[in-house]
Structure 1
Amino acid sequence: MTDTPAKIGQQDGSSGNAKIVYILYLIGLVVGITSIVGVVMAYIYKADAPDWLKDHFRWQIRTFWIGIVYSLIGMVTTLILVGYLILLFVLVWYIVRCVKGLQCLDKRQPLPDSGSWMF
């Protein structure tokens, strides 16, 4: 059984939406607000996506919320100076997760461990 052109186009559009979310996350490192737009998009598009793409939206949603938790811990601990190292770690962690997600998305594959709190 083959996919109809409409179904293929829908899957390509969803893949494009996931790529836009990753790009918004990376731009959010400079602008900030685009990360919020990205997570809202991930929540919206997750329901209608194919299974392999739902994995990416899950990864994106988890990246946003876990990044908030790690950042808050980093901000609170800046009073004892270790927070600056934590914030640097969060920056690297965030970029790595976005790049890893983009690589798997380009291969049209689900992420190896989308439930992970690390990389």
Structure 2
Amino acid sequence: MTEALPADEPQGPNLRTVTHVIYGLFALGLISAGVLGLATVAAIVLAYLKRGDAAGTVYAPHFGWVLKTFWWGLLWLVLSALATPILVGWLTGAVALVWVLYRLIKGWLALFSGQSPDGEA
């Protein structure tokens, strides 16, 4: 008689927990106005490290969402900082921060409801 071996259980936290941690760290860095900016950097590093594990799962779009939000937000904040001497930088910086906050909230709420952040199935 042969017995089926149990499937190997993945080690460490599941992808849902990791995705919540990524959103939480990103939010912590954003809400602290950069004081805890390392939290945002940690979120991005974690997203890059776990992106391969999430490939093909419902969590994969969340990793891409967070990474795109970070890089586009960083680009617009840097451009806004460069434009502050002509005073338009303050306005574009505020718009960029609101956009990043919107995407963070939208993505995290989509994670809570088990959906993709970009509205696709």
State the distance in 1 between where 2:96 and 2:37 align: 14
Query: Which of 61, 71, 74 is matched with 1:65 structurally?
Result: 71
1:46 is the counterpart of 2:47: no
State the distance in 2 between where 1:94 and 1:20 align: 17
Higher helix share: 1
**How does the TM-score come out when normalised to structure 1?**
0.82
Unaligned stretches of 5+ residues in structure 1: 115-119
Note the C-alpha offset of 1:33. Answer: 1.4
Q: Would you say how many aligned residue pairs link Structure 1 and Structure 2?
A: 109
Identical positions, percent? 28
State the distance in 2 between where 1:41 and 1:113 align: 23
1:19 is the counterpart of 2:25: no
Unaligned stretches of 5+ residues in structure 2: 1-6
Q: Which has the larger radius of gyration?
A: 2
| RMSD value, Cα | 2.2
Structure 1: 4+ residue segments shifted above 6 A = none
SS at match of 1:48: helix
